[in-house]
Amino acid sequence: MATSIKNATHYNWGQNCNGWHLLNTNSLSVIAELMPSGASEELHYHSNAQQLFYILSGKANFELNGRREIICANESIHVPPKHLHKISNNENEDLRFLVISQPMAQSDRVDVINHTEELKEAVKTLNVEWLEKYFKVEPMDVIQLSDPQTEIIDKGGMIYYARHNDKIVGTVSLLKVETGIYELGKMAVTQTAQRIGIGTILMEHCINIAKQKKLSKLILYSNTQLKSAIHLYKKYGFVEIALESGHYDRANIKMEKII
C-alpha cells in the first residue's frame, strides 16, 4: 500500500509544525514536514545521524555551522553528523519539506539553547560538578555562578546550554572582557553525557557567535593537566599567550583566538 500524509503516523512539533512518518526504521527515517510562516526550530545537532532536507514547496532559511542560506523548492541540503543546524520559515507561505535521516535521528539529538532565568541553576550545578572533580570552586566562581544574570548576561555576556533527552547536560559562557574581546569559559558537560561531542559543539557555537557578532578575539584560561581540552583549543586555533596572575588559581595557561 502506498504511504502518504493521509495514512502516515502524524505528530505535532515545535511552533505549530506537523510531521508525518513516511518511513520509520532504526536504520532509515523519512518524514514529510510542514512548517507554517514564522516558525523555526531550535539550533541542534545529531551525534550519529546524517540528514538530507529536500524542499517540496516554499523557501527555507537554513543555518548550518554558523552559515545562513536560503534553500528553495526542488533543492536540498545535506547535514552530516555533529553539524549544528536549524531550519526556519521566514516567508509568508507554508514550508513543506522531506527530512531523510540515516540512521533514525530522534534519539541522538542535542539542542543548543540560550540562557533563560529558568536555567540559572543549571550553569551552577554543571560547573560545580566539574570544578569539584578536577580543582575547587574559587571565590570568582561563586560570584558568577550564583547570579549569572547579573554577573554574566547584564555585563554583556552570553550563556548557552546543551539539552539532550529533555535534560540540560552542558553549558558554556562568553564573558565580556571589553569591546570586541570575550572570555570563553564556564564550560562543563555532565559525566553522563560525555562522548557525544557536546564540548566540541559548544566550542564551535561560541566561535560561530563570535564571527556573527564580529568580535575581534576570544580568550580562555585553562590548565595543562587537561590534555584533551588543550588539544581541542589548539585544534580550533587558540594559541598560548602570557598568563597574568590573579585571574583563577587553577589556571596555568592562557590562550587566545583571533576571529
Residue 48 has pLDDT above 90, yes or no: yes
More confident residue, 191 or 76: 76
- In CATH, the architecture of 111-258 is 3-Layer(aba) Sandwich (3.40)
Question: Cell for 210?
Answer: 563570535
Tell me which residue of 35, 26, 23, 27 sits closest to 59, measured CA to CA: 35
> Residue 105: its pLDDT value, please?
85
What percent of the chain shows pLDDT beyond 70?
100
> Residue 246: its pLDDT value, please?
79
Asked if 62 and 68 count as a contact pair (C-beta separation under 8 A), the reply is yes
pLDDT mean over 110-122 = 95
Q: How long is the chain?
A: 259
CATH code 3.40.630.30 region(s) in the chain: 111-258
Handedness of CA 75, 11, 166, 193 (dihedral sign): negative
Residue 218 to residue 197: CA distance in whole angstroms: 21
Q: Quote the mean pLDDT of the chain.
A: 95
Question: If you count DSSP H runs as helices and E runs as strands, how many of each does the chain have, helices first?
Answer: 5, 17
Residue 162 has pLDDT above 80, yes or no: yes
CATH code 2.60.120.10 region(s) in the chain: 9-107
> Residue 194: its pLDDT value, please?
85
What percent of the chain shows pLDDT beyond 90?
93
> Residue 245: its pLDDT value, please?
85
Residue 150 has pLDDT above 80, yes or no: yes
Task: Check residue 4 and report its DSSP letter.
Answer: -
Q: Where are the beta strands (DSSP E) in 115-190?
A: 158-164, 167-178, 181-189
Predicted TM-score (pTM) of this structure: 0.92
Residue 106 has pLDDT above 80, yes or no: no
Residue 247 confidence class, pLDDT cut points 50, 70, 90? confident
- CATH superfamily, domain at 9-107: Jelly Rolls (2.60.120.10)
Residue 107 has pLDDT above 90, yes or no: no
